[in-house]
């Protein structure tokens, strides 16, 4: 593994992106199917707008676009060219678009979407504040958000999932074991749960529900934060 703390987004490397795509595509009956996707569907069902425009920040290879239903338009933004092309190949539909972009400068008009999804993205980002600000900018007033990220209270358990781990004061990086695929380089920024919630609130994204999921060694690995923009 290349021990580089400047590699904020390993997924722009095609080989690493392929490993992650394989893992998500072959995964069946695990946390995503049992917990994450049902929760996303429940969240989407609560959006009043009948033809809701949904923005997925860090959409990967696009599988999420098929696991939720009832939206009018789905827009997936992803920095990896390989993953965007994979999404277009596998999940293309008239009401779905997959575009290259990053969380710090979303290629989306201000206050143009009814809902924002961010799944397993924020903990990969060095600048949490900028990413949250951009999500809020794109979301209409009264719009809903669904943010899933790592539960920072369980960092010690997360460390056991990595090999070749390198840690500094703000982050860790190593090869994480993936279902159905070879271990892949992964960057994990330490973001206390309160820091994430406070960043959302600061930019007008008010928390209405917090839940935890995926238990390992008595700890929950993920936190989901839901709410609306004031």
The 10s digit of each residue's pLDDT in 101-131 is 999 999 999 999 999 999 999 999 999 999 9
> Buried b / exposed e across 202-222, counting CB within 10 Å, b at 16+?
ebbbebeeeeebbeeeeebbb
Instruction: Answer yes or no: is 4 within a domain.
Output: no
Residue 210, pLDDT score: 98
Flag whether pLDDT at 136 surpasses 90.
Answer: yes
pLDDT, average across residues 87-111: 96
Return the pLDDT at 7.
56
Answer yes or no: is 161 within a domain: yes
Minimum mean pLDDT range among 3-17, 38-52, 178-192, 205-219 = 3-17
Q: Among residues 108, 113, 132, which one has the least CA distance to residue 197?
A: 132
In a domain, 135, yes or no: yes
Q: Does residue 5 sit within a domain?
A: no
Q: How many structural domains is the chain composed of?
A: 1
Instruction: Look at 20 and 160; give whichever has higher pLDDT.
Output: 160
- pLDDT band for position 180 (50/70/90)? low
Q: At what angle do helices 81-91 and 14-26 cross, to 10 degrees?
A: 30
Report the CATH number that the domain containing residue 190 is assigned in CATH: 3.40.50.150
For residue 26, the 8-state DSSP code is H
Range of the domain at 193: 10-229
Residue 1 lies in a domain: no
- In this structure, is residue 193 part of a structural domain? yes
- In this prediction the pTM is 0.93
Mean pLDDT of the chain: 91
Kindly give the residue spans of alpha helices, DSSP state H, lying in 120-222: 128-138, 155-159, 193-202
List Cα–Cα distances, 135 to 92, 110, 111, 199, 200, in angstroms.
Answer: 24, 9, 10, 11, 9
The alpha carbon dihedral of 220, 222, 223, 224 has a sign of negative
For residues 139 and 74, the answer to whether their CB atoms sit within 8 Å is no
User: Among 16-20, 145-149, 222-226, which is the least confidently predicted range?
Assistant: 16-20
The answer as to whether 211 is a domain residue is yes
Q: Has residue 6 got a pLDDT over 60? A: no
Instruction: Indicate whether 46 belongs to any domain.
Output: yes
- Strand partners for 174: 186
pLDDT band, very low/low/confident/very high, at 9 (cuts 50, 70, 90): low
Beta strands in the chain (DSSP E): 53-57, 73-78, 96-100, 113-119, 139-150, 162-167, 171-178, 181-189, 205-216, 219-229
Q: What six digits make up the tokens of 37?
A: 């996707």
């Amino acid at each position: 593994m290349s021990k580089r703390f400047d590699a904020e987004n390993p997924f722009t490397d095609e080989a690493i992106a392929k490993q992650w795509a394989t893992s998500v595509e072959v995964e069946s009956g695990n946390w995503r199917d049992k917990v994450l996707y049902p929760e996303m569907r429940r969240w989407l069902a609560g959006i009043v707008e009948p033809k809701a425009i949904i923005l997925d920040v860090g959409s990967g290879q696009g599988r999420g676009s098929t696991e939720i239903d009832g939206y009018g338009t789905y827009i997936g933004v992803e920095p990896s060219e390989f993953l965007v092309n994979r999404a277009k190949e596998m999940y293309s539909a008239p009401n779905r678009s997959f575009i290259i972009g990053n969380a710090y400068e979303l290629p989306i008009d201000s206050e143009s979407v009814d809902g924002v999804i961010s799944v397993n993205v924020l903990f990969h980002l060095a600048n949490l504040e900028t990413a949250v600000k951009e999500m809020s900018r794109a979301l209409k007033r009264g719009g809903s958000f669904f943010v899933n990220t790592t539960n920072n209270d369980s960092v010690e358990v997360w460390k056991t999932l990595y090999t070749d781990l390198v840690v500094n004061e703000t982050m860790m990086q190593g090869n994480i074991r993936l279902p159905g695929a070879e271990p892949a380089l992964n960057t994990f920024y330490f973001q206390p749960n309160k820091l994430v919630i406070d960043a959302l609130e600061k930019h007008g994204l008010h928390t209405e529900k917090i839940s935890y999921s995926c238990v390992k060694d008595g700890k929950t690995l993920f936190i989901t934060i839901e709410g609306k923009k004031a």
